[in-house]
A and B are shown apart, each in its own frame.
Chain A
Amino acid sequence: AQKVTQAQTEISVVEKEDVTLDCVYETRDTTYYLFWYKQPPSGELVFLIRRNSFDEQNEISGRYSWNFQKSTSSFNFTITASQVVDSAVYFCALRGAGTASKLTFGTGTRLQVTL
């Protein structure tokens, strides 16, 4: 069975602070895919990144960076110099490579960035 744990329910930061959102996963699959999605107040989830289990390189995209560590089964997401527009709920998700595998989401972390 697959499981995604986002232990942080809510985080509040002041604009320009750095913030890290944690994601820990469990899977028996040797090949799998990890995702992060952002859900702004408008409701639709927006894809941020996909990482394959065989690619442990960290990735940076502007103010966003992701730290994938297979040894600890974690796929953490860091926002540098946070902005008010980053306020949203962020979901980590996992899917195995098999066709019968389902996309499993965590419970999400609500990030509130204030001035």
Chain B
Amino acid sequence: ETGVTQTPRHLVMGMTNKKSLKCEQHLGHNAMYWYKQSAKKPLELMFVYNFKEQTENNSVPSRFSPECPNSSHLFLHLHTLQPEDSALYLCASSGGTVFEKLFFGSGTQLSVL
């Protein structure tokens, strides 16, 4: 079993749909992250949670709504997305200190039609 598990692996949704991405980590980490990966762009940090509290929101539009019910689970709720939101969404976790490496999930490939 991998350390960070993301579901679903692929998601196609219309602009009026509501869907959620799920991330689960089995590493005992305190920090969890959402990143967006678009073609030919650097990974964009979206949200950071430490001990279930959101510590960073990197100017993400409100159509993306994160939820962290506990240190092991992280959700990204999606509502009225735009085609330009199509990307690979990666979840990661770490122990929480600045020098620690991140452990990533395999991502959810999202297509917005």
A contacts, CB < 8 Å to B: 4, 9, 33, 35, 37, 42-47, 50, 52, 91, 95-99, 101-108
Contact = CB atoms under 8 A, between A and B. Distances in A.
B103 interface: yes
Given A107-B41, A108-B42, 6 more contacts: A37-B104, A44-B90, A50-B99, A101-B98, A102-B58, A103-B102
B42 A104 contact: yes
Contact of A44 (B42, B101, B104, B109): B104
Contact of B42 (A33, A45, A50, A105): A105
Contacts, number: 54
B91 to A, nearest CB: 9
Given A42-B106, A43-B88, A52 B43 contact: no
Given A106-B42, A107-B41, A43 B106 contact: yes
A100 to B, nearest CB: 9
Contacts of A105: 42-43
Interface of B: 2, 4, 40-43, 45, 56, 58, 88, 90, 92, 98-99, 101-107, 109
Contact of A45 (B41, B102, B109): B102
Contacts of B2: 44
B99 A95 contact: yes
14 contacts: A9-B40, A43-B90, A43-B106, A43-B107, A44-B4, A46-B104, A52-B99, A97-B99, A101-B98, A102-B58, A104-B42, A105-B43, A106-B42, A107-B40
A47 B42 contact: no
B10 to A, nearest CB: 11
